[in-house]
Amino acid sequence: MSNQLGKPAISFSRIAIYATLLLAAAIYLVPLVVMLLTSFKSPEDIRTGNLLSWPQVIDGIGWIKAWDSVGSYFWNSVKITVPAVLISTFIGAMNGYVLSMWRFRGSQLFFGLLLFGCFLPFQTVLLPASFTLGKIGLANTTTGLVLVHVVYGLAFTTLFFRNYYVSIPDALVKAARLDGAGFFTIFWKILLPMSIPIVMVCLIWQFTQIWNDFLFGVVFASGDAQPITVALNNLVNTSTGAKEYNVDMAAAMIAGLPTLLVYIFAGKYFLRGLTSGAVKG
């Protein structure tokens, strides 16, 4: 069916699909909208209005109080997440490079054992990790949390890079070897510049996992070394007096904003990188 200009009319099925998608997106975004609106309301607005009502007066005091409560822990999360993401991504790239391009005796067994780490739940490593951190003097520190996240994340980053590198033609590496390129030259000059898609996958994956982690943060850190997820839990569950929902919602927005921004600006690279190594291996 076409209109008078010869262009095909929009079918009913397509309209139904778009309507369903818009409805699903609206339902999914309702909690975020409620959090955002509540964070800018005064306590009086919260008591008298409904969840989706617009603030009578936009009040930023909730955000100020929330930052005063969790601001230092926000920077703790930055200090934990940034080095852990960079280190685990770099070591994972090296592991994937070795396991795909420089195979050695027992490399498949090594990869299988490393891959087993992807299926280990967080709870199984709590006791051995606590014991190790205590022995090396890193218990209840941000440095200790960095080490834990690096070790736990290596299984995933190695898997990502290994599967990506096996899709690269072996002839490329063989030609570089014939030209006299060594182990590190091939990695730095040839493979790493080609690895931007999978690097983005690892950065986004690790950033999300580490920033949103609560269990490791509450077990391996204490006091001023805790990440923002633990501080948010303490703020919500230990407040005294009248409940300040605007402060709680603002703190939750502060805690979730980094990962939200990462997916808004880099989400397309994440999907592109996941599918880039899916042809082979």
Kindly state the DSSP code that residue 2 receives in the 8-state scheme: B
Other CB atoms closer than 10 Å to residue 30's CB: what's the count? Answer: 12
| pLDDT at site 45 | 81
| pLDDT at site 277 | 52
Q: What is the largest CA-CA distance in the chain?
A: 79
What's the CA gap between 163 and 146, in Å, rounded? 25
Residue 160 Cα distances to 95, 167, 270, 279, angstroms: 10, 12, 12, 13
| pLDDT at site 281 | 42
CB neighbours of 33 closer than 8 A, spacing ≥ 6? Answer: 52
| pLDDT at site 38 | 87
Check if the beta carbon of residue 95 is closer than 8 Å to that of residue 162.
yes
Check if the beta carbon of residue 161 is closer than 8 Å to that of residue 97.
yes
Q: Which CATH number fits domain 61-276: 1.20.140.10, 1.20.1250.20, 3.30.70.1230, 1.10.3720.10?
A: 1.10.3720.10
What's the CA gap between 272 and 45, in Å, rounded? 44
CB neighbours of 230 closer than 8 A, spacing ≥ 6? Answer: 73, 214, 217, 218, 221
What's the CA gap between 204 and 209, in Å, rounded? 9
| pLDDT at site 99 | 86
What's the CA gap between 181 and 266, in Å, rounded? 33
Cα 251 to chain centroid distance, Å, stands at 19
| pLDDT at site 39 | 87
- Low-confidence stretches of the chain (pLDDT < 50) are 1, 278-281
Check if the beta carbon of residue 84 is closer than 8 Å to that of residue 72.
no
DSSP secondary structure string for all residues of 86-147: HHHHHHHHHHHHHHHHS--TTHHHHHHHHHHGGG--GGGGHHHHHHHHHHTT-TTSHHHHHH
What's the CA gap between 81 and 207, in Å, rounded? 6
What's the CA gap between 256 and 220, in Å, rounded? 21
Q: Where are the domains of the chain?
A: 1-59, 61-276
Residue with tokens 């960079």: 86
| pLDDT at site 240 | 65
